[in-house]
């Protein structure tokens, strides 16, 4: 089996959703990682950069995974803002989305709709991917800045405080990321369900125009009651 350079390429999604959060956390907690290496620095700068890149990438994967439950915390927001009952675009698309029994949440519908869009319209799928990169980045930054702020408070408690501006900076970024993430997730859901509904109806009209007098079903899903 032969491999191409592109097989090892870090795409834009991995860069912003995985690598950047991991790099920010390692940079903020660099003193800890230096102590982890017993205070020894790497003599070769190139090896140091490779270690930083790999460490950021691996740590970023864990940050991304631990951040997934934050999506469910949005259910705690005021009902008119993010609830399923007030999501008009989800309610419009849901009757046309076929899901396995027991996997029928809005998140499940979102992933199924995204798969449909990916198969039928690469341009629309690329637009959704860009928006997913944004919300995944800010979701990971919530963990990065929140954990960094907590560690800064722990150091303060044990009389090894960081400079006050550093603590304020970390806390401010945490609040900003926490405020930005729900908007980005909601907009991604809206865009995905809009694309799905538009593409579904376009394909349905195309199927009907191909056999207007056949009397046969097009085989497509029909809206649920």
- Is residue 68 exposed (0-12), middle (13-18) or buried (19+ Cβ within 10 Å)? exposed
pLDDT of residue 220: 53
pTM score over 0.95: no
pLDDT > 90? residue 157: no
Euclidean distance between CA atoms 127 and 192, whole angstroms: 9
What Cα–Cα distance (Å) separates residue 165 from each residue in 29, 30, 149, 171? 16, 18, 12, 10
In tens, the pLDDT along 61-96 reads 999 999 988 888 777 777 677 888 888 999 999 999
DSSP codes, 42-105: PS-HHHHHHHHHHHHHHHHHHHHHHHTTHHHHGGGS-HHHH-GGG-HHHHHHGGG----TT--S
Confidence class for position 9, pLDDT limits 50, 70, 90: low
């Amino acid at each position: 089996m032969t491999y191409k350079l592109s097989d090892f390429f870090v795409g834009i999604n991995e860069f912003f959703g995985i690598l950047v959060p991991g790099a920010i956390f390692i940079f903020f907690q660099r003193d800890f990682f230096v102590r982890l290496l017993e205070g020894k620095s790497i003599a070769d700068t190139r090896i140091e950069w490779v270690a930083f890149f790999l460490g950021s990438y691996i740590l970023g994967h864990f940050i991304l995974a631990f951040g997934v439950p934050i999506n469910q915390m949005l259910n705690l927001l005021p009902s008119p803002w993010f609830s399923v009952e007030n999501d008009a675009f989800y309610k419009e698309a849901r009757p046309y989305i076929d899901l396995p029994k027991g996997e029928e949440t809005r998140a499940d519908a979102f992933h199924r709709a995204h798969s449909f869009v990916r198969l039928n319209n690469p341009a629309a799928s690329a637009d959704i991917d860009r928006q997913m990169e944004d919300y995944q980045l800010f979701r990971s930054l919530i963990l990065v800045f929140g954990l960094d702020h907590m560690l800064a408070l722990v150091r303060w408690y044990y009389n090894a405080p960081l400079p006050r501006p550093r603590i304020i900076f970390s806390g401010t970024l945490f609040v900003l990321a926490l405020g930005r993430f729900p908007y980005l997730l909601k907009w991604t859901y809206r865009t995905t369900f809009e694309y799905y509904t538009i593409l579904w109806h376009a394909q349905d009209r195309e199927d009907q125009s191909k056999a207007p007098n056949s009397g046969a079903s097009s085989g497509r899903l029909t809206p649920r009651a």
